[in-house]
Amino acid sequence: MTTPVSDEQLLLSMLSGNAEAFAELYDRRHGAIYRYALRMTGSEATAEDITQDVFLELMRDAQNFDETRGPLQAYIFGMARHRVLRRLQTGRNFVSLEEESGDEVMETNFTSASDPFMDFQREEIVGLVRQAVLSLPANFREVIVLCEFQELNYVDAARLIDCPVGTIRSRLNRARGMLVNKLRALQQSEVSSVEMKQA
Amino acid sequence: MKCEEFKANLNELVFEKLAATDKREDAMSHAALCADCALLLTETQDVQTALQSTARADIETAHPRVRAALLTAFAQQHAATVTPVVDMATHRRRTRITLAIMSAAAVILMVAVLRPVILKMTSAPTPQVDSVAEKTTAPQPTATVATAVPPTSSFNSKPLPFVSHAKPLPHVAVHESRAVATSIPRQTTSTKHTNEYFPLTYLASATAMESGTVVRVQLSRAALISLGVPLSIDRTERVLNADVIMGDDGVARAIRVVD
């Protein structure tokens, strides 16, 4: 049984000009980067831009990576985070997830033969959650995206954000509390809009 | 348990499965009695479920065009940065220069390290040193440099006889310019043919010295070239005698070849 090639080995191979190694590294890591950027900015186009930027920089300055400071995955995430924060600071690329891809996503991504109603309901909830997460302040949104969606543990998230673990924990607590309130408000507004349509 | 305490522990209770069983039981019994807290608990549990569903649904990836664009960029970048081919002659020359620089650095370091020891040993006047050492009495107005240069030996093998304490010099300034370096007196007492001193160009402004010592060393031509002595680049491994002017601070100021 062969051991899988590590990210760092792929990077070395990539540095020597191996395009397959680069492709493998991209296939392995781009999904998480893209989704992180998407959940943080709410824009598919921006998320694609950020993903492309990150891998272009990796291509150009891969020799800057220092293995002693952490794994390559964290390094790549750090680059993505830097870009996301820069975009959020400019504020131009903040697009509501609902505006960009509301019904279309529901129609295309969720198909199941088992129970279409349940699937629809689940998708509705997912849409609401994404909308609620996107409306959180950036620092609270970030911990939700990293710890809940990307499933990073507190230590890794703290290292990435460069803050104490306690800060991650407290931000998560507050963010969850905010989500409860926001989801409640979103659900109420949906109910009232349905009632208005029926009336 | 009060409502405030319940709310404070709510996240831990739902998301991190509050470890202490008694605390958990307290919270649950409070929720059973308090309608508001029970609602909050349900909502928080709903949020947890919703977040988990959202995480599971998070399967999007970037459009394939991003991958294609990156692979094209990678191919272009690598086509542009093909490693230049280095011929063997260049490689040998580089190796030789590197070796020369390393050996010169080693010699300078050794001189700097051994000098205090040598000075200590020579501070007590020994007849041998006195007999060997010669003071330059050349009529140059700027400086006098004491030398102790035995004709046939190397600095490494017999350090003591080669070095004598220098007589205090009024002021010897070795500048970075080679033209100025000629102000350092020529060694007229040596029986061998000697050349001009060359300042060691790595020195900046710290070249002035009150007194100094001339130390005879043996260096390869390569090392001498690397120190700025104008020699032709052939037979670089050949060893030549050289005089090095050392300041009292142990730093070499200038060097000349003794043919």
Q: How far apart are CA B30 and CA A114, in angstroms?
A: 39
Question: Average pLDDT in the B12-34 region?
Answer: 78
The answer to whether A98 contacts chain B (CB < 8 Å) is no
B67–A184 C-beta distance less than 8 A? no
A60 interfaces chain B, CB cutoff of 8 Å: yes
- Give chain A's residues under pLDDT 50: 93, 95-113
Q: Please list, in sequence order, all residues whose beta carbon lies within 8 angstroms of the beta carbon of residue B84, skipping any fewer than 6 positions away.
A: none
Q: For residue B152, what pLDDT is reported?
A: 40
Question: Does the distance separating the beta carbons of B73 and A59 come in below 8 Å?
Answer: yes
Domain residue extents for chain A:
1-95
Distance of CA B74 to the CA centre of its chain: 34
The answer to whether A48 contacts chain B (CB < 8 Å) is yes
Domain ranges of chain B: 3-56, 92-258
Tokens at residue A1, please? 């049984």
Tens of pLDDT, residue by residue over B48-87, are 888 888 888 888 888 898 999 999 888 888 776 654 444 5
Mutate to test the interface with B, among A41, A179, A188 (most CBs of B within 10 A): A179
Which amino acid is residue A175, in one-letter code? A
| Largest Cα–Cα separation, chain A | 68
CA distance B206 to B16: 67
In single-letter form, the type of residue at position A148 comes to E
Contact A22 B70 (CB under 8 A): yes
pLDDT band at B190 (very low <50, low <70, confident <90, very high): very low
Q: Which of B48-57, B145-154, B189-198 has the highest mean pLDDT?
A: B48-57
pTM: 0.53
Domain A1-95 has CATH 3.40.1390.10: no
> Could you report the per-residue pLDDT of A107-158, keeping only the tens digit for each?
334 444 456 676 777 788 888 888 889 989 999 999 999 998 888 888 889 9
Residue tagged 């800057």 (tokens): A64
d(CA B70, CA A26): 9
